[in-house]
Amino acid sequence: MTCPNGRKELQAMAAITRKEARAQVFHLLFETEFHTEASPEEIYALSQEDREFVEDAYIRRVYFGVREHLAEIDEIMARHANGWKPSRITPISRSAIRLCIFEMKYMDDIPAAVSINEAIELVKTYDDPKMRTFVNGVLHGAKTELEEAAK
């Protein structure tokens, strides 16, 4: 429903779901894999123009948060990747894992099970289906580690 000044309709068009926002972060992280010479700010700005995604606090917080804590996130990933270095994991799966680990470690308002499920869905959609089991194992290992550390 549009109010006389049109603002309500504009707000409705601008709102996106958490799932859509998570997909945008995933795409940003994936793009970062191939544009290593560009800063996170440049990638964010270019991606926002190219895909015309909505400015969203969640997208900004998670994308820049993953970039800020990348070394720590990759260490957690490596501990649960059955001897695989993060660089050997496909860029798609690596991006989904990084997103999920960030959410589990830094966003208490998102249940770990939701983060893991969403990451698995991204992998099922964009990567080889065989990667789903591997990613699930990495994320459940990371979840256990983070829960133990929080005690």
Which two tokens mark 37? 């010479």
**6 torsion bin: left (phi>0), alpha (psi -120 to 50), beta (else):** left
In a domain, 127, yes or no: yes
Residue-level pLDDT at 151: 86
CATH number at residue 34: 1.10.940.10
Element (H, E) at 65: helix 57-68
Asked whether residue 2 is domain-assigned, the answer is: no
Residue 45 has a pLDDT of 85
Is residue 96 within 8 A of residue 135, CB to CB? The reply is: yes
Render pLDDT for 34-74 as a digit per residue (tens, 0 to 9).
988 898 889 888 877 776 667 789 999 999 999 999 999 99
CA 56 to chain centre: 14
What pLDDT is recorded for position 52? 66
The range of the structural domain enclosing residue 41 comes to 7-150
pLDDT recorded at residue 14: 57
AA identity, residue 72: E
Q: Does the residue 28 lie in any domain?
A: yes
* Model pLDDT, residue 16: 86
Contact 123, 92 (CB under 8 A): yes
Inside any domain, residue 1: no
For residues 97 and 135, the answer to whether their CB atoms sit within 8 Å is yes
Q: Write out residues in the chain with pLDDT < 70, as ranges.
A: 1-14, 51-53
Coil/strand/helix, residue 77: helix
Task: Tell me how many domains the chain contains.
Answer: 1
- What pLDDT score does 122 carry? 97
